Amino acid sequence: MMNTTEQSTEHFRKILWDRLQRLDTHSGTGNTEFHTVTERLTIQIAFNRLDNNEYNKCIKCNGIIAATRLFANPTALTCDDCDLGKTA
């Protein structure tokens, strides 16, 4: 049986995989190549962060990125405070 962290990791992995699949499906439907490449890179970074157990760590302050933020934006790299410029 998986613990809560493993369940969350698998949940976000599925969300990212689904996003990547949608990107493949919509490829050539008006998305610019730059947008497609950028989105693929952000998804790959998120997968790498999951693999390295850094997925919910802010890259600016090393604090925790709230699960609600990750649900809203699975490729988020910063916490709410850093995103809003509240941290130094």
Q: How many CA atoms lie within 13 A of 57 on its CB side?
A: 11
Q: Which domains does the chain have, with CATH numbers?
A: 4-83 (1.20.120.910)
How many C-beta atoms lie closer than 10 Å to residue 62's C-beta?
10
Q: Which residues pair with 64 in a beta bridge?
A: 57
87 falls in which pLDDT band (50, 70, 90)?
low
- What does the mean pLDDT of the chain come to? 84
Give one word for 3, left, alpha or beta, with left for phi > 0 and alpha for psi -120 to 50: beta
Give the pLDDT score at 36: 79
Contact 13, 50 (CB under 8 A): yes
The model's pLDDT over 52-67, given as tens digits with 9 standing for 90+, comes to 999 999 999 999 999 8
pTM for this predicted structure: 0.77
Per-residue pLDDT at 24 exceeds 60: yes
Reported as a pLDDT band with limits 50, 70 and 90, residue 4 is low
The answer to whether residues 55 and 70 touch, using CB atoms and an 8 Å cutoff, is yes
